[in-house]
Amino acid sequence: MVDFTPSSLFSVERLSQLHKALIAIDNTVVHLAALPDTGLAHDHVWISRDTGPDWIARLPKQSQMQLDPETNLEYQANCFRRAAQSGHTPDLHAILPISADFPRGGLLVSAIEGRQARLPDDLPAIGEALAHLHEIAVPPVAARPPLESPHSPWTAMRDEVLAQATYLDDAPIDEGTRRRLDSELTLFNDDRELAERIDAQRCLISFDAHPGNFLITPEGKAVLVDLEKCRYGHPGLDLAHASLYTSTTWDPASYAVLDTATVVDFYRHWWATRHTTNEVMDVEALVATRRAMWLWSTTWCAKWLTLHHQERDSLAQGEDWSAALSEDRLIAHVEDRARHYLSSPVIERVSHDNHRLADELAQAK
């Protein structure tokens, strides 16, 4: 007998459908519990098993990378497989096939017994987790697909940010804020020497390393549980996503406003974990990728504010930011954060923080 604990979006009927789909994969399930709706990309169900450790079903609501369901599943599965070498991510156990009941399929991964990250206390553990992820050997070019590994990761990042920046035309910002963002976007103007250095430092990155995506085990180990957007790029993008104001104030459970000294210590701890030589941090590359990650997050806010009013994609194909896929509470939270991050005071604050960090990291080398 299997027990079900539903949620407002995940009914007993849907949990029953999931159980039927699971029978062919694992017949030891005793309880399925829909987890709180905390993200725009997945539903999550805790799978209690009679024998062996529990699992989590990650059921895509959409593909943030604009992939069809089959390609999206394969991409995410490879994210988990490759990141597993770090020792700081859940193991992948099985793929839930695409079906009429689950048109985007799903992944079955290890359930992590842990709590949400508390900042700044857990920043060292997060830095260590990222250092171990970034130390995974980069495979030969031919072996990197399906994960993204563009010829120039910096150019690819530029193109992605500038594509999202087109949504600034409809964003709730004044002319002064738009001019400030346009000025910040000149970061991507041609600087071939910097671009070449950034591209030369490519490694496996999460590209979604905000603190809300980490769980802290009872032993104090940080586990990165959301891996759908891994790619080969510069590690500074992950460090930024873990410590920017637009990341540390995103998730209510890990909310914190970090001062510059704390962020400097975070970068230095990551560097010390990753490197045992006297090699010097490339501060210019780390700051450039930090600014790029902030611009990506800020322009994403403009994009989401424009697209979340659209109807749900009835064909369940590719990207879909429709508010219909998530609880009203979550949509209200995301809208509040998106408008906040696009506000003039926050744009000024983060820009100032980035320049101050550049100065203090340079002094700390």
Determine the 3-state secondary structure of 37 from DSSP: coil
Place of tokens 């459908």: 17
* HSE (side-chain half, CA atoms, 13 Å) at 250: 24
Determine the 3-state secondary structure of 204 from DSSP: strand
Determine the Cα–Cα distance for residues 177 and 343; give it in Å rounded to an integer: 8
Cβ neighbour number for residue 25 with a 10 Å cutoff: 14
- Write the pLDDT tens digit of every residue in 180-221: 999 999 999 978 999 999 999 999 999 999 999 999 999 999
pLDDT of residue 287: 97
Strands (DSSP E) contained in 35-134 are 42-49, 55-60, 92-96, 106-110, 115-116
pLDDT of residue 280: 81
Q: Strands 106-110 and 55-60: what pairing?
A: antiparallel
The burial class, CB within 10 Å (0-12 / 13-18 / 19+), for 6 is: middle
User: Rounded to the nearest 10 degrees, what angle do helices 260-274 and 344-364 cross at?
Assistant: 50
Determine the Cα–Cα distance for residues 109 and 93; give it in Å rounded to an integer: 5
CA distances from 110 to 24, 58, 337 (A): 18, 10, 30
Return contacts of 245-250, CB within 8 angstroms, 24+ apart.
Answer: 245/346, 245/349, 245/350, 245/353, 246/294, 246/297, 246/298, 246/341, 246/346, 246/350, 247/210, 247/211, 247/297, 248/119, 248/210, 248/211, 249/337, 249/340, 250/210, 250/212, 250/337
Per-residue confidence in pLDDT tens, the chain, 365 aa: 899 999 998 999 999 999 999 999 999 999 999 999 999 999 999 999 999 999 999 999 999 999 999 999 999 999 999 999 999 999 999 999 999 999 999 999 999 999 999 999 999 999 999 999 999 999 999 999 999 999 999 999 999 999 999 999 999 999 999 999 999 999 999 789 999 999 999 999 999 999 999 999 999 999 999 999 999 999 999 999 999 999 999 999 999 999 999 999 999 999 999 865 667 889 999 999 999 999 999 999 999 999 999 999 888 889 999 999 999 999 999 999 999 999 999 999 999 999 999 999 988 76
Domains and their CATH numbers in the chain: 3-110 (3.30.200.20), 115-364 (3.90.1200.10)
Region of residue 215 (phi > 0: left; psi between -120 and 50: alpha; otherwise: beta): beta
> DSSP state, 172?
S
Determine the Cα–Cα distance for residues 234 and 361; give it in Å rounded to an integer: 17
- Write the pLDDT tens digit of every residue in 284-317: 999 999 999 999 999 999 999 999 999 998 888 8
pLDDT of residue 277: 61
Length of the chain: 365
